[in-house]
Amino acid sequence: MYYVNYPGYYYVPYYPNATYWPDRQQYPPVDANLLYKSANETKKLMDDASIVLNKLAESQEFDAKLMNAAQTSNTAKVEQLIHSTGITSDVDIHYNPDGLRLEFISQVADTDCCKLRIALRWR
């Protein structure tokens, strides 16, 4: 390489018959279809998450029922309470003595495309 007096500029000699220059990597054509569908599915997950969060933010009575069910390890009751909010998405519910974790899951064309996790603390 030959450097010119200007900083940041340099001259790379070109040898037309040289075989040591690697070809640039070719990428396949872009197909944004799955990304588009994933984004739309995630919007639905966010709507369901918003429903649950609104219920938790509005009703301390609901929160107390949920925490009591979790404290007694009544998983069926915890799931029933979360689903009673009116959500339609699949949700994995995990809880421990410190809080609640909800994982909303969706699929596009039998492919896991998107997950939305919410972690809430209660202690």
pLDDT at 1: 52
pLDDT at 48: 96
User: Do strands 10-11 and 2-3 pair parallel, antiparallel, or not at all (unpaired)?
Assistant: antiparallel
Tell me how many degrees the CA angle 45-51-55 measures, rounded to the nearest 5. Answer: 150
Where does the pLDDT of residue 115 fall: very low under 50, low under 70, confident under 90, or very high at 90 and above? Answer: very high
Could you tell me the sign of the dihedral formed by the alpha carbons of 58, 61, 64, 66, in that order? Answer: negative
pLDDT at 13: 64
**83-100 confidence digits (pLDDT tens):** 999 999 999 999 998 999
Q: Which helix (H) or strand (E) holds 26?
A: none
**1-22 confidence digits (pLDDT tens):** 555 555 666 666 666 665 555 6
Q: Which residue has the tokens 């979790």?
A: 70
Quote the pTM value.
0.74
